[in-house]
Amino acid sequence: MSIRKSVIALALAVPFASAFSMDLAIAKSIPLKDGSVVHQFKNGKMAMEDKYGRPTRMNVGETMAAADGTTITANSDEVALLSSVIRDHYGRTTK
């Protein structure tokens, strides 16, 4: 009976451990000339939000012009991760 309880406890703990292991912190946010913002996460992945604050797609390898004149090359497209960060920050919206 003890082994069964241990297996059940482990089965319930694994999903929570994987959820907490994902680092959702944004390391750097770079405003672009068109009003959108590129966010770089601590793990180096990138995501973009449009000028209205919505997560939007970008092509990997695409170069974008920052507001300060520098160019940024997209190395990933983490729309779902940014959507999760925005949802956690502002709370869930109701329809």
The tens digit of pLDDT for each residue in 64-89 reads: 999 999 999 999 999 999 998 888 87
**d(Cα 72, Cα 81) in Å, to the nearest integer?**
20
Q: Are 24 and 84 in contact (CB under 8 A)?
A: yes
Domains, the chain, ordered by start: 24-90 (2.40.10.300)
In 3D, which of 90, 21, 30 has the Cα closest to residue 58? Answer: 30
Give tens-digit pLDDT for 2-56.
787 766 766 666 555 444 444 568 999 999 999 999 999 999 999 999 999 999 9
- Burial label, 70 (beta-carbon count in 10 A; 0-12, 13-18, 19+): exposed
Task: State the pTM of this model.
Answer: 0.69
